[in-house]
Structure 1
Amino acid sequence: MTLDRPAAKADSAPSASALKPAAPAPAPLVLLPLDERPVNVQLPADVAAMAGTTLHLPPSVLLPDFRTPGDAAGLGQWLRTTLTELSGETAAPVDALVSLDMLCYGGLIASRTSADDLPSVIGRLEELKTIHERCPGVNVDAVGLVMRASSNSASVEEPDYWHLHGHELHVLGGSIHRYLDESEIPPLSELTRVPAEVVADFERRRLRNHIVNLHSLDLAESGVLRTLAITADDTAEFSAGSAEQTWLRHWMRALPSGRSVHMYPGADEVGATLVARSLTARHGITPRIHIECAHPEALQRVPPYENQPLAASIDRQLGIVGAVRAHDVEGAGKVGAEVPAADAILVVHGPEDGRQDLASAAPLTSDERAAAETGALIQRLLAEGHHVALADVRYPNGADPLLGDWLVEHGLLLELEAYSAWNTAGNTLGSVLSLLVAGVVGRATGTLDECARRVALVRRLLDDFAYQGVIRRRRFEELFRLDSRPLTPERALHAEDVIGADLQTTLQSWGPTGVDLVRTALPWKRAFEVGLELTAQQ
């Protein structure tokens, strides 16, 4: 049913270079994104463009606008109409990549804040059955999200009461998780001081969303979904989200198709990973990716905001994009070590043994040696002629500035095949692997758009390294007054001008890039994310 390529040793899997795929058919791609932010709309479009594919997206009038939900009913109708039209225009299969949170609630924030009842959201989910019945030439790849319970006390993306009770609700989820194997049901007053009516509101919303994820497993079992991913957003080892994943895994073990369901840490990157998966599936290509890390012990650490070791996340992210590991070799990451046959190499700048976070202006304790050793590893692999991408997961919410500066100093930054260093480790891994795999597919099929690849690389470098790793931290107090809430329109325009000027200066300092920065925007009028309009120079 699902096109499952587990991220295991690739002893018998054909590499992209070994395959001679047929000429690519004009198979359309349609995406219903998680929300309207650039990582959920622009990043998937960049992945598609690299392999010469056009991505169909809903009109912006249907999409959410920060805390205003998207038009869930209208989005379902748009999806059905678009797929019906496209499937009638081409004999090639049409791939629909669907965020269940957008389809059911109208977007990511709406999934946490809306009061929509269970019958309503299940009715919207059933739209996929209608599409399956009416459009037999459509493949539906879907992703559902295990709802987070943020540990901070900001209500920006959460219910209005989060500033009063958010942290305690997060702690409550962990406390309940610890009772998972117990028969005792303690009084609520022993678990939390949060008022019962607030607990009920939040937990009923969690229950509704959990039932949607369970229903998606049934859609996968019945053949409505070709691929199903269930990802976890900002989930600690002991938390409500981790407990729900345990229950979901029970049904993944019980249902025959459950072995093909992908579950791992991630959220905003999944639109891009589903695009990459579609590209590998439609061309019958299984990219071989070799993983290198200058500090292999870092791969066994559990990154912040996640609930499994980094190595496990890498394997699961490889699986969802349709790739496999190239052969592991003894001494990987050491100077002079043999590199196995691979279509591309992903260098991982592993997480520190600490909990620093670049989302704030707090002082950063950096490790010059670690950055230099990762840089030297990249330098060697590039000198050997490999296509090398970098996943910088040293810190959450931005790049290690020392590593970025090292690559600039040695003239290697723009020699990377792809790059990512934003938000969580899962976000970073999924993003960079999607871009890397798109390059592999494009080269194998003769459809690689080098200008699109360069634009995608520069976009991530400007966003993750220049903005998140350097400029945001330097300008945080001046522009955002150390506040996570959205700015007023006037302050947002000023911040966009200042950040845009800083990014222009940074871009020019890198030398010829072949890319122009046209516009800088703050999509949600806050510091956390930036939108960049780029064009390739003619």
Structure 2
Amino acid sequence: MKTLLIPLDERPCNRVFPEMIGKTNQDIDLLVPDMDLFGHKKEPTDTKQISDFLLENSEDCDNVVLSIDMILYGGLIPSRIHHLTREEALSRLSIIKKLKQINPKMKIYAFLCIMRAPSYNSSEEEPDYYEEYGYALFKRAYLLDYKKRHSLTDEEEAELEAICIPEDIVNDYETRRDFNTSMNLEVIKYLEEDYIDFLVIPQDDSSPYGYTAISQKTIVQKVKEKNLDTKVMIYPGADEVAMSLLARAYHEYYHIEPKVYPFYASILGPTLVPKYEDRPMYESLKSHIRVCKAVIVDNANDADYLLAINCPGKIMQESFVDNNELDISYTSYRNLLDFAYRIQSYVKLGYQVALCDSAFSNGGELQLIRYLDQLGCLDKLISYAGWNTNCNSLGTTLTQMFIGQKDLIFNLCYRIIEDVFYQAIVRKDMVENDLVELGLSYYDFKDQQEVVEKRIMEKLQTYYNSLKISHVHPCHILEIDMPWKRMFEIGMKIEVQP
């Protein structure tokens, strides 16, 4: 299967992770643009170069996984700050029709995000005014939407009236949001006319009320009006979607529909709404399984794969929360050791078991990794992910589970090092200690980025070497880089002994 991939942006999670997974399957030939074609963070990619890449390489491809945010706006962050005209956007979108004309048999699996509205003040990935008015913009829309659908208390009415945002800022922000929603509706037309074969409209950092919910409602209504429910999925996520669509492309190309049996670490797990998402975990699981062109089954004996889902007991917190601030329900509403024993039992019985580590947001759970390591089944997992949001992790581990055929240990080790050791432990340690010592900050490494990267690499190596798995599968971390010159994510080069 020859597949073109146009990622959401140039970060490792969007460009490198799908390539890593693709390399574990000898039947997949994945073609991705070189790094020098992409922009950088708020600097948009030259969309013409991406379109040229597609036109030059599409003739003999079986399918394409296509980020429409990339071909329209030049990437995810540029989609939030652009000043495109409708004519410019429609012209860029027309590349999809050209691809179908060149290769009518090529299937197009596309995705276009619903623009997010973070509930905090930061212009790191938003317009400059979000530094001062971000939370106010979010809260104003949240309360207005809630009021329209329900009613506000006197306290909430007073809070709404007290929000003060300059009119020009509200107009700029809402005009862009309306523009982006109109592009979502245009893409639905492409789906209706069969220029797109399958579409995902993910919600990045979603909330049940406010801007993203309003946009979602408009889009859902259009999908239902056009009777396109079987050809489009709308759910929380973003950075994992290219991987999920790669799994779908693979399954449809080879006429496979695998069966998945999920089991959770706590009884309430399926019903919990994760941080940064707007629906229970089990509802998101249904969407992710269906997007990958797979089905859920009710018992292990009927399944091709078992998906272990580590979840909170009752309340989800950040992975880097201090132990003394850890919610008691992580132990009172969840028996983590029993969950680890259950995974071990299934592995011993010969089942193919993958792990979605979503007990916390923004990082995996070290205690679970240690349990599985001690029980001798950590390196027997066929897939693992535990990064950022529940849906980020879910899409990643499902795709690796479905596609992986060889050299699975490399990606397993990579994910453990980044998701557990970096996101949950080393990142916080560096911010609270090393950066302070060096006079640096989360977003400013000055002229000492190499020093920061070296310290991160040394700490990660030490953590990995503390596991029993390191004696069976030694891993050497060769390089660490900070793609957007911030502490949030890292890129890595590693060597793992099979």
Q: Distance in 2 between matches of 1:123 and 1:168?
A: 35
Name which of 480, 486, 489 aligns with 1:526.
Answer: 486
SS at match of 1:475: helix
Deviations 1:133-155 (A, max 9, x none): 22213211100101111111111
1:354 correspondence with 2:315: yes
Name which of 131, 134, 137 aligns with 1:163.
Answer: 131
| Residue ranges of structure 1 left out of the alignment (5+ in a row) | 1-26, 88-92, 330-338, 440-447
Deviations 1:454-508 (A, max 9, x none): 2111111111111112222222212445997522353322111011111222233
Q: Which moved more, 1:429-438 or 1:54-63?
A: 54-63
Contact in 2 for aligned 1:471/1:502 (Cα 8 Å): yes
SS at match of 1:490: coil
Specify the alignment match of 2:39 in structure 1.
64
Specify the alignment match of 1:83 in structure 2.
58
Give the 3 Å change call, closer, same or farther, for CA 383–502 of structure 1 in structure 2. same
| Letter aligned with residue 96 of structure 2 | L
Shift of residue 363 of structure 1?
5.8
Name which of 472, 475, 480 aligns with 2:430.
Answer: 475
Q: Matches of residues 295-444 of structure 1 in structure 2 within 5 Å?
A: 295-326=266-297, 328-329=298-299, 339-358=300-319, 364-365=325-326, 367=330, 370-439=335-404
Q: Distance in 2 between matches of 1:520 and 1:132?
A: 40
Q: Distance in 2 between matches of 1:355 and 1:534?
A: 31
Contact in 1 for aligned 2:133/2:165 (Cα 8 Å): yes
Contact in 2 for aligned 1:480/1:526 (Cα 8 Å): no
Name which of 459, 479, 498 aligns with 2:414.
Answer: 459
Shift of residue 345 of structure 1?
0.4
| Letter aligned with residue 55 of structure 2 | R
Shift of residue 119 of structure 1?
1.9
TM-score by length of 2: 0.91
Specify the alignment match of 1:6 in structure 2.
none
Greater relative CO (CA pairs within 8 A, separation 6+): 1
Percent identity at matched positions?
28
Q: Distance in 2 between matches of 1:285 and 1:493?
A: 46
Contact in 1 for aligned 2:203/2:237 (Cα 8 Å): yes
Q: Matches of residues 23-102 of structure 1 in structure 2 within 5 Å?
A: 27-52=1-26, 53-84=28-59, 87=60, 94-102=62-70
Deviations 1:168-211 (A, max 9, x none): 111122123225559xxx9xx94841111000111111111101
TM-score by length of 1: 0.85
Specify the alignment match of 2:472 in structure 1.
512
Q: Distance in 2 between matches of 1:495 and 1:352?
A: 35
Q: Which moved more, 1:391-400 or 1:43-52?
A: 43-52
Contact in 1 for aligned 2:362/2:387 (Cα 8 Å): yes
Deviations 1:354-386 (A, max 9, x none): 242136779651645632122122111112111
Give the 3 Å change call, closer, same or farther, for CA 117–150 of structure 1 in structure 2. same
Q: Distance in 2 between matches of 1:415 and 1:483?
A: 40
Specify the alignment match of 1:263 in structure 2.
234
SS at match of 1:141: strand
SS at match of 1:146: coil
Specify the alignment match of 2:142 in structure 1.
174
Q: Distance in 1 between matches of 2:125 and 2:218?
A: 26
Q: Distance in 2 between matches of 1:429 and 1:261?
A: 18
Deviations 1:398-432 (A, max 9, x none): 01222122222223221211101111111111111
How many residues were matched structurally? 482
Deviations 1:330-362 (A, max 9, x none): xxxxxxxxx332111000111342242136779
Q: Distance in 2 between matches of 1:49 and 1:269?
A: 17
Q: Distance in 2 between matches of 1:414 and 1:487?
A: 37
Q: Which moved more, 1:55-64 or 1:195-204?
A: 55-64
1:498 correspondence with 2:455: yes
Shift of residue 105 of structure 1?
0.4
Give the 3 Å change call, closer, same or farther, for CA 180–340 of structure 1 in structure 2. farther
Q: Distance in 2 between matches of 1:351 and 1:71?
A: 42
Q: Matches of residues 213-228 of structure 1 in structure 2 within 5 Å?
A: 213-228=184-199
Q: Distance in 1 between matches of 2:43 and 2:24?
A: 32
1:487 correspondence with 2:444: yes
Contact in 1 for aligned 2:440/2:446 (Cα 8 Å): no
Q: Distance in 2 between matches of 1:169 and 1:480?
A: 31
Specify the alignment match of 1:442 in structure 2.
none
Contact in 1 for aligned 2:251/2:292 (Cα 8 Å): yes
| Letter aligned with residue 356 of structure 1 | Q
Specify the alignment match of 2:116 in structure 1.
148
Contact in 1 for aligned 2:197/2:231 (Cα 8 Å): no
| Letter aligned with residue 340 of structure 2 | G
Q: Distance in 2 between matches of 1:49 and 1:199?
A: 46
Q: Distance in 1 between matches of 2:101 and 2:320?
A: 45
Give the 3 Å change call, closer, same or farther, for CA 340–180 of structure 1 in structure 2. farther
Contact in 1 for aligned 2:121/2:130 (Cα 8 Å): yes
SS at match of 2:361: coil
| Letter aligned with residue 36 of structure 1 | E
Q: Distance in 1 between matches of 2:102 and 2:71?
A: 18
| Residue ranges of structure 2 left out of the alignment (5+ in a row) | 151-156
Give the 3 Å change call, closer, same or farther, for CA 197–235 of structure 1 in structure 2. same
Deviations 1:105-153 (A, max 9, x none): 0101100112222221221111101111222132111001011111111
Contact in 2 for aligned 1:454/1:515 (Cα 8 Å): no
Q: Distance in 2 between matches of 1:79 and 1:359?
A: 41
Contact in 1 for aligned 2:431/2:441 (Cα 8 Å): no
| Letter aligned with residue 242 of structure 1 | A
| Letter aligned with residue 283 of structure 1 | Y
Contact in 1 for aligned 2:4/2:31 (Cα 8 Å): yes
Specify the alignment match of 1:5 in structure 2.
none
